[in-house]
Chain A
């Protein structure tokens, strides 16, 4: 079975531009989460979507937005890019067992975004 796939793998943008990152979850997974990982740090939670609705948001500015489509794939959009947005952006998908919390998240290899 295919794992979580993200596109593109690498992207170079300049300050002020916007970017769209894409994620396809594992088949059957309805939850998608997005993380930002700055070099040398752990992943920071940005968004979680489940059944096409936003279920959680991390401490990121409104320049960051996301959505989930009927096929459960997802897009992360970032507007007005800043140098500090340079990072590895990870997408993860999971099953959800309400009230149990025991399902692992499965991660893609990420999109490496560089801002010049």
Chain B
């Protein structure tokens, strides 16, 4: 079975400072992992995905994430927050079986202060 835990329900940063959104996964094998962003009243947009090719994954809008198997973590980072980054972020694991079923974390709301 797989599960995803997002360690912070809310994160607040100042514009121009680094962003760190934490995600841990539980899986009996190396899963495929994704980060999605959701702006208010919108669907989910893919930021990046990890599929075992490289442990450091670069995504859109300056975001990146590092897969650490020893820590079972897949934290999302960005060097400098922008006001437009304020949104909700979801960490997701995909099942190798079950037709790529998605397992969602509970989400982290990112607030960016001017």
Interface residues of A (CB under 8 A from B): 4, 31, 33, 41-43, 45, 48, 50, 55-56, 88, 90, 92, 94, 96-110, 112
Contact = CB atoms under 8 A, between A and B. Distances in A.
Contacts of B114: none
A55 B98 contact: yes
Interface string B55-91: 0000000000000000000000000000000000010
A44 to B, nearest CB: 8
Contacts of A42: 90, 104-107
B92 to A, nearest CB: 8
A88 to B, nearest CB: 8
A31 B100 contact: yes
B99 A56 contact: yes
A99 B44 contact: no
A112 B42 CA distance: 10
A108 B41 CA distance: 11
